[in-house]
Amino acid sequence: MLLAGQFKRLKAACAVAALGSTVRAAEALHLSQSSVARSVQELEDALGQPLFERSGRGMRPVASAAQLLRRAARALNHLAHARPLTQKPLDAGLDWLGSRLALGAGQRHLQTMVLLAETASETAAAERMGISQSAVHQSLVQLEHMAAVPLFVRARKGLRLTEAAETVLKAAKLCLAELQQAGDELLMREGVVQGRIVIGTLPFSTGRLLAQTVDAVLRAYPGLNITIIDGTYDALLHQLRHAEIDMVVGALRPALPGPDLEQETLFIDSLAVMARAGHPLARRPRLRWKDLRDAQWVMPMPNTPAQAAFERTLLAAGLPMPSSALRVNSALMMLAVLAQSDRLAMMAPRQLQREIEAGLLVELKLPVSHEPRMIGVIRRADYLPTPAAQMLADTLRGVAQAIAGTDDE
């Protein structure tokens, strides 16, 4: 991480940026003015660029430093919002100056919190961090003092998060993500494109969309690291809220489970009954829904838009729900099952264009009536994308327009 070891200095720079002088910043941070001034100068030296214009009227951030300081302030406010403020904030947006956790925690404290939650062991966390177990324990004691609550309890299988710790853990992950993104943006301004974007995908709705998008972005930014992971809706939203992924792409629900998330519809998709090429039903000249009464299905996963559409369609056709339920949460496995059997599945033909053109799958010509199936992207409501992430979002929109056949060109 480019900003590793600079968190304390970033706090001093953020306070100066917010309050306009090292004197006022020192008062807010309960430090000496010389200590604050030295921290700012050391940060400027480490980054190789000035962060402030200095004059008799005080200190004002230079334009090139505005995004870095904005990111750092966001990181600190994530920590501030994890626990009640210990004193009245100085101004809107400066909650972190009233938070003992935000003022006191360093990057090692935050990394300790995250790794203890992952490993449930001080020894394992110490090995991952390359430090002693006693150093990990000391960091935990200090962090619990700053948070003013116990963060872990010892159980037979190791350390277990307390209820209060869940909020602190989430804040720590959001804070570290902001610092990572700040470092990525600094490198991009120097012409070095790196960093990581993690995309969560919902099954059966993103193959063509994401494949084209990621290819275009990596051609523009070959040094970028893009990771794509599959998951269920609830699991991916949990990871999104904890900054473990940057966005979720797939079939949207009509409403989100909380105001901390936002979603954007990219296009409206439609479902059809799909079968392997050469399927007996595909050869019928006048296929009707009643011909599918004895068909075997690969059903969508429960509590998904595809499942709701499947149930409504069979109900409208007067068909019973399949007695033998085979459910698959992997597009690759779904295609394999269809190819090796006479089972049917309700899927989106747009997402299967290559398989259809290759003669592997066919669409059964049956009317399928269902509510609009929105394909789109979900982000944290306060998410601030890096330039690379913004390009990915813009590319997603362009590819979605092409898939939907609504390109203006």
CA atoms within 13 A on the CB side of 302: 1
End-to-end CA distance of the chain: 42
Give the per-residue pLDDT at 407. Answer: 38
Tell me if 23 sits within 8 A of 37, measured CB to CB.
no
Give the per-residue pLDDT at 75. Answer: 95
Q: What is the pLDDT of residues 379-388, one digit of tens each?
A: 999 999 998 9
Mean pLDDT of 234-260: 94
Distances in Å between the Cα of 388 and the Cα atoms of 123, 148, 204, 223 are 37, 38, 26, 11
Q: Return the CATH architecture of domain 193-268+374-404.
A: 3-Layer(aba) Sandwich (3.40)
Give the per-residue pLDDT at 191. Answer: 72
Give the per-residue pLDDT at 358. Answer: 93
For residues 175 and 345, give the distance between their C-alpha atoms in angstroms, rounded to a whole number: 43
Does the pLDDT of residue 118 top 60, yes or no?
A: yes
List all residues 6 or more positions away from 274 whose beta carbon is below 8 Å from its beta carbon: 338, 344, 345, 346, 347, 349, 352, 361, 362, 363, 364
Does the pLDDT of residue 208 top 90, yes or no?
A: no
Q: Map residue 54 onto helix, strand or coil.
A: strand
Mean pLDDT of 305-315: 89
Of 88-97, 122-131, 317-326, 361-370, the range with the highest mean pLDDT is: 122-131
List all residues 6 or more positions away from 321 whose beta carbon is below 8 Å from its beta carbon: 311, 314
Higher pLDDT among residues 373 and 298, named by residue: 298
Asked whether the domain spanning 193-268+374-404 has the same topology as the one spanning 1-192, the reply is: no
Does the pLDDT of residue 204 top 80, yes or no?
A: no
Give the per-residue pLDDT at 408. Answer: 41
- Transcribe 166-184 into DSSP letters: HHHHHHHHHHHHHHHHHHH
Q: How confident is the model at residue 274 (pLDDT cuts 50, 70, 90)?
A: very high
Give the per-residue pLDDT at 60. Answer: 95
Does the pLDDT of residue 138 top 80, yes or no?
A: yes
Q: How confident is the model at residue 406 (pLDDT cuts 50, 70, 90)?
A: very low
Give the per-residue pLDDT at 409. Answer: 41
For residues 140 and 24, give the distance between their C-alpha atoms in angstroms, rounded to a whole number: 31
**If phi over 0 gives left and psi between -120 and 50 gives alpha, with beta otherwise, what is residue 329?**
alpha
pTM above 0.95, yes or no: no
Mean pLDDT of 250-277: 93
Q: How confident is the model at residue 353 (pLDDT cuts 50, 70, 90)?
A: confident
Give the per-residue pLDDT at 86. Answer: 66
Q: How confident is the model at residue 263 (pLDDT cuts 50, 70, 90)?
A: very high
Distances in Å between the Cα of 289 and the Cα atoms of 71, 279, 308 are 56, 15, 18
Residue spans per domain, the chain: 1-192, 193-268+374-404, 271-369
Q: Picking from 13-27, 79-93, 148-162, which range would have the lowest pLDDT averaged per residue?
A: 79-93
Long-range contacts of 350-353 (CB under 8 A, 24+ apart): 350/208, 350/269, 350/270, 350/403, 350/404, 351/204, 351/205, 351/206, 351/207, 351/208, 351/209, 351/269, 352/274, 353/208
Mean pLDDT of 66-89: 87
Give the per-residue pLDDT at 233. Answer: 92
Q: Which class would CATH give 1-192?
A: mainly alpha
**Average pLDDT, whole number, for the chain?**
90
Q: Return the CATH architecture of domain 271-369.
A: 3-Layer(aba) Sandwich (3.40)
Give the per-residue pLDDT at 203. Answer: 78
Mean pLDDT of 26-31: 93
Mean pLDDT of 257-269: 94
Helices (H) and strands (E) in the chain, counts: 15, 14
122-129 and 133-147 helices, crossing angle to 10°: 110
Does the pLDDT of residue 88 top 70, yes or no?
A: no
